Amino acid sequence: MAWLEFLGRFHPVFLHLPIGLLVGALGLELLNQKTKSTGLNAAIQSLLFWGMITAIITAMLGYFLQWEGGYEERLLNIHKILGISTSALSVVVFLLRKFGTNRRIYLSVFALTTAVLLLAGHFGGALTHGSSYLTDKMPNGLRSVLGLPPKAAPEAEAVAVDASSLVFQDVIQPIFRQKCTSCHNPEKAKGELLLHNQAGVEKGGKDGPLFIAGDVDNSLLIQRIHLSVTNEDHMPPEGKKQLSEDEEALIEWWVQNHKTFEDRIQDVDVPESIQAVFAKSIKPENPVFRLELKDPGEKKLTSLRNEGVKVMRLAAENPLVEINMSYRQDLEPDFLKKLFPIADQIAYLNLSKSNVTDAMVKDLGRFPHLVRLYLDNTSITDAALEAIQGMEYLQYLNLYGTAVTDAGLVNLENLPQLQELFLWQTGVTDAGVQELSAKKPSLEINTGISGSNLGAIIPLQAPVIQTDETLFTDSLQVQLMLNVDGIKVFYTLDGSDPDSTSLLYNGPFTIKRTTEIRAFATKPGWQSSPIGSKQLIRSKYRPKEVSLSVPPNQKYQGSGPSTLIDFHKGSNQFGDGQWLGFEKQDVTATLDMGSAVPVSHVTVSCLENASSWIFFPRGIQIEISNDGKSWKRQAQETYPEATGAATPAIKNFLVTFPDQSARFVRVKVTGQKTNPRWHPNPGEPCWLFVDEILVD
């Protein structure tokens, strides 16, 4: 029986063969009828023979596959009858073609066979993907012709909730519906598990309960999610739309805090990490998420990333994207033109704390589907708001710390979806706010908090450490941005925590070496800010070539080995195309500087994301050579194993050694290789992700 079930797994491999062979034979037969040629007879007979053979094999394999279970009985029986009928009819067609004399009967049976074949394929697809698979994406015009009702507007993929929302119904069930129910529904219950409703989730499947409330580590749902995507038991399976990091976090939070299916968000503990997920939510009533927009295509997105634009999809397989150009002080006057090729797909545009001016944002009207726009802490004035008047979908607008006045608010009156507006520390008066509120009563306007006890209520924000780049070749100007007047900022340049005896910030300063800046702000009567930090890395010498001891995994190969020396930092999204990924492997990178140069610092940038089985390296070794043959070790560092899951993080591992002259630098990065013992899947192969190796 086990062997037959194994053979049944080959049903999907064979099922396309009879379709192609028999439909191809029918096409040639019709052509043969028209041309009256005898030259096609042998080809038609051969196609019919192999179509018959593969139809019989496919039916047998399908019969074996049904024993695995998990399929809706009615659909399964229909598909089985049609599949067996197809194989039987294919035999009849072959014999009629070979020995029959009545061509009309032959063609009639052939047409019937093709119809039965296509119906068998349709019901097979319904078993696998659901009975509405064909109609889900059907245009309304065709639906009308076929007598089907118009399709419902698609649900927004982001989680949009408030305190009164039900945790399971409003947060978790939409995730199951988008990512899980194609395999776990009444028509196809893989593993005897149903996830389309509460009853199925409560019941669990053939392997037992789906989850154990309060026990994330021992819950089957969480274990399956955290398996490697190449593992047969990983959920969702490879090839299906995968869970995002936010969705994984929400499911773990639900399992950990679940008491009843009637729990509301206000009834359970919501940590800051989950609050951050909810803060990114998109309210589903925004019509932009019901539009059928063309996907921008990975080629365009990769091209923008190569030009230094941070672009990220809002969700997997979602055409809408986010552009983040915050803190950029090097934006060119016409930088928005770079974004025109994907103007229709940009929903989030973050220009916060950048060098944009009124003239630079005059083309914002070319982005018709903006939902969130960040212009805070920029030099824009009322003139910039003329470019956004009438935007149909704009929902969130941040003008904090700009020179906008009451006069500019008139441009916001005709923004039908505007729900949140930030005007703190602008030139807008209370009278201006009241006038806008009267015209748009549903608009939430944030103008900050006033009062003599403000400092006792809210701590100062950490100073923003602003630079043109985080990687530089010679020197770099640093500015500490302050959000409140009358404060003092103390900072250090050696990575130590600052206090009131540290350097006092008096204005922009220049650094000429790799530096970790840490700073905090104080003001009498206020709570001191938390410490802000930023690592700025000098790489005086750009390698001419780089070679690797092993190739990266084909799924995460960036632009090849040159990804390590292209001066483009990866984000904390490991799939952004800027990382090289190595599964259960160490990697050695050999850098050719082109000529001998003085070397004393090497920095290796790595990513850690425990939930995706990605860990920081356990060691880095540096060797140098002048001929590429004789090597001398300069330094070797080891790093501790991660002790628990944390949010995704990027870390620059700096290795220093006495100044030496060398043309070749060899960097060996030792990975974790397997998940640590505390991980939900201990001992399984894990990943090492590297994006930049910098030499100074």
- How far apart CA 421 and CA 381 sit, in angstroms, is 16
Q: Please provide the average confidence, as pLDDT, over all residues in the chain.
A: 83
Of 119-133, 384-398, 493-507, 546-560, which range is least confident? 119-133
The pLDDT value given to residue 387: 92
pLDDT above 60 for 117: yes
The per-residue b/e assignment along 160-181, b for 16 or more CB within 10 angstroms, e otherwise, is bbeeebbbbebbbbbbbebbbb
* 303 membership: H or E segment, kind and range: helix 298-306
Q: Work out whether strand 476-481 and strand 515-522 pair parallel, antiparallel, or are unpaired.
A: unpaired
- How far apart CA 577 and CA 589 sit, in angstroms, is 19
- How far apart CA 469 and CA 479 sit, in angstroms, is 12
Q: How confident is the model at residue 453 (pLDDT cuts 50, 70, 90)?
A: very low
The pLDDT value given to residue 667: 96
pLDDT above 70 for 590: yes
Residue 591, strand partner residues? 546, 665
DSSP code for 169: I
Render pLDDT for 320-359 as a digit per residue (tens, 0 to 9). Answer: 888 988 878 778 888 899 999 999 999 999 998 888 889 8
What percent of the chain clears pLDDT 90, i.e. is strictly above it? 29
Of 109-123, 184-198, 301-315, 327-341, which range is least confident? 184-198
**Residue 71 near residue 189 (C-beta atoms within 8 A):** yes
The pLDDT value given to residue 688: 95
Q: Work out whether strand 372-374 and strand 346-350 pair parallel, antiparallel, or are unpaired.
A: parallel
SS3 578: coil
- How far apart CA 148 and CA 163 sit, in angstroms, is 38
Rg, the chain, Cα only: 31
Cite the DSSP H helix spans in 100-214: 103-129, 133-136, 140-145, 173-179, 198-203
Q: How confident is the model at residue 388 (pLDDT cuts 50, 70, 90)?
A: very high
- How far apart CA 694 and CA 652 sit, in angstroms, is 10
The pLDDT value given to residue 399: 92
Contacts 24+ apart (CB under 8 A), 173-179: 173/198, 175/243, 175/247, 175/250, 175/251, 176/201, 178/241, 179/236, 179/240, 179/241, 179/242, 179/243, 179/247
- How far apart CA 263 and CA 229 sit, in angstroms, is 31
pLDDT above 50 for 452: no
Q: How confident is the model at residue 545 (pLDDT cuts 50, 70, 90)?
A: very high
The pLDDT value given to residue 543: 92
Q: How confident is the model at residue 534 (pLDDT cuts 50, 70, 90)?
A: confident
The pLDDT value given to residue 141: 58
Residue 575: name the closest of 626, 544, 619, 612 by CA: 612
Overall average pLDDT of the 681-688 stretch: 91
Overall average pLDDT of the 97-106 stretch: 82
The pLDDT value given to residue 541: 85
Render pLDDT for 256-296 as a digit per residue (tens, 0 to 9). Answer: 888 888 888 877 888 877 877 776 654 445 788 778 888 89
Return the higher-pLDDT residue of 652 and 290: 652
pLDDT above 90 for 627: yes
Of 92-101, 157-166, 391-400, which range is least confident? 157-166
pLDDT above 50 for 502: yes
